[in-house]
Structure 1
Amino acid sequence: MKQRVLIVDDEEQILKFLTTALEASDYAVIHARTGREALHMIATAAPDLVILDLGLPDMDGKEVLVKARAFCNRPIVVLSARDREAEKIEALDLGANDYVEKPFKIGELLARLRVAARLAGQEQVKPIVFEADGLRIDLERRLVTRDGVAVKLTPKEYDLLAFLVHHAGRVATHRQILLNVWGPAHAQDTPYLRVFVGQLRAKIEARPESPKLILTEPGVGYRFWAED
């Protein structure tokens, strides 16, 4: 069965372009041009994925996101011309699975949708063993190895790595990471987090100066490796 994608956007050209591209990639497409229509469609049509523009005629897309998250756990990918870091961070903190800026490349958007859909299918199952690029993380045994050699991590480095692995493929904002790994007292300690990420990269990346596992989303947070 084809996955159903709801496109929420009031620009006719964007709707036509995305519909053509998504249908060519074997998705079924439905549309909403306002926030109220989007919430109705999410509730009644049960789309598998939502592409949400933030600039809607009747309400801000972030309000749609908050209201949708009250009853829907389906992947929501924000697609917006708003390129301020604060907008991205707020949308991600409010529950967006990902954020793609306009203008965009359709290949990138499709890749983000595939990752979001795959992770949604795994959301009830936390990974026990993660393997990629020579790294093996056994979360049950709290054991990390690179090319068969044990990697010695401090307790906090391990907690940071485990959080990122549990959210592999998704952007985790600085605030989300700090709250979950260090607690509310450190929610604003972004420089502190950068130090730990640097230390962690030095231990788990094959080439820390060119990381493949812990990717930086400038000004926003980090995305742990997720092969499409």
Structure 2
Amino acid sequence: MAKEIVVGHVRDIGLGRRTYHYLLSGLVMDDRWESEVAEYGAMNITGFRIVDNTKKHVRHFLEGWRNLDPLTSLGAGKDSISAQAALMYDAVFVLVEAFNKLLRKKPDVFRNSFRRAPYNSTTKALDCNVSGGWVTPWEHGDKISRFLRKVELEGLTGEVRFSEEGRRQNYTLHVVEMTVNSAMVKVAEWSDESGFTSVSAKYTRPKSTLHIERNKTYIVTTIVEEPYIMLR
């Protein structure tokens, strides 16, 4: 949606100028912004990213992600991944890590909690009691919650760890801007611990297709227009 709006504004006579500056909220800059779409570089665009493509494990994941069949793996087959998909990917690994730690500590913790027989048997089963108008919490819920808060791992969205209240902490958002050649350049970063910090932007100049031959005379013609062009 954001990309379509940007292209629409570029083609608008009143809005498609680099004197306008667009700040995109959310994490839409993690989506794939095709460099061949010239409209993206026609305006000043600043946004946020959470996936750091410079990290080795992220590059390794994206290499495999790019080789997947998009027909069987929705969103794959590209050299980038959306922030929403990356966050879901990390969330699955957080759950796996938490349950693995719990089962290593107490292998039989769920032995008597799951049904292994037909529905009409007398085996104990999980019952949320939704028909009563409220939800009955699972007996292991608090224990699982504690193990989830103890998980620490390095995911696609950076370091994943949680506070005692269950909020994610020590994460970083990358502030990027779109250059005139529709490339993204990191200009700053924000973290929940250190706040906003500017970084040295590494701009890449587009390659010039103009070739100037040496030992050749070039005639330049102009018009005298004071005070810009004057005879001296």
Q: TM-score, normalised by structure 2?
A: 0.25
Larger RCO (alpha carbons 8 Å, 6+ apart):
2
- Higher share in strand: 1
Which is richer in helix?
1
Instruction: Select the structure of larger CA radius of gyration.
Output: 2
